[in-house]
A = this chain, B = another copy of it.
Amino acid sequence: MEHHGMLIVISGPSGAGKGTLCGLLLEKDKNLALSVSVTTRLPRDGEKEGENYFFTSVEDFQEKIKNNEFLEWAKVYNNYYGTPREFVEKYLKDGRDVILEIDIQGAAQIKKNYPDAVFIFILPPDLEELKNRIIKRGSETLDSFNLRINYAREELRAIFMYDYVVVNDNLENALSKIQSIVSAERCRVSRNKSLIEFVNRRDRLI
C-alpha cells in the first residue's frame, strides 16, 4: 500500500520529556524521520551540529527567512528556531513520516499550511515536576528561568490547537500512546488515497 508521508508535530512545555520521547520513537519505527531544526542559540554541552540542530548566525537565519527556506520558524527566548523546508519535504516525498519537535508558534504556522499534520501535545505529570526539571537543567539565570516558566504557562493554553494530549507520567506509557497515535493516523481514510482507489477498482470486478 502506497503511503504518503505525514507531518507529526510534537510540542509541550520545556522539560516535558519531548526530546527523550522523540528519540525512542525514532528507534522503534524506522519509517519515522526527525526534522533537524536550524537555530541561532548556542550549542549546549554534548549537542552536535546536524544531529540536535543546525547551528547558525542570526544574519544567516534572517537570510533563510527571506528566501522562504523554512516550513515554520519562531523566536523563542530571544533565539530563532526554524524547520528547513527542503530537508522535510524530501523525507515526505520518500513516504517517510516526519516528526517536528517544535514550539507552539511554529505549530500554529504548520497548522495553517499543513492542516493534515498530526498535532500532539506532551504534558509533564505536573507543573511542580516541570519546575524541578527546568531548575535541574541548571544552565539558566533567574531571568531566563522566569522567561521559560512564563512561556511554559502560555504553551499549556495552546493545548486546544492540538489533536492529542499525552501525559508523560511514565516514559513507556507515553511512548506507547504516541506510537498508537502514529499508527492510528496511518489508518485515516483521508490518508489512504491509494487504498480508496483500490476499493473503487476492485468494486468493478464483481
Contacts and interface: CB of A to CB of B under 8 A. Distances in A.
A163 B188 contact: yes
Copies in the complex: 2
Interface stretch (A26-34, A87-95, A103-111, A195-203): A195-203
Interface stretch (A51-59, A74-82, A123-131): A123-131
Contact of A165 (B131, B156, B163, B189): B189
A162 to B, nearest CB: 5
A192 B189 CA distance: 24
State the majority secondary structure of interface residues on A. helix
Interface of A: 1, 120-121, 123, 126-128, 131, 149, 153, 156-157, 159-160, 162-167, 176-177, 179-181, 183-185, 187-189, 192, 195-196, 199, 202-203, 205-206
Nearest to A1: B167
Given A177-B187, A180-B179, A185-B184, A206 B153 contact: yes
Given A159-B199, A179-B180, A199-B123, A187 B164 contact: yes
Nearest to A178: B187
A204 to B, nearest CB: 9
Contact of A149 (B164, B189, B206): B206
B121 A189 contact: yes
A138 B189 CA distance: 32
A203 B163 contact: no
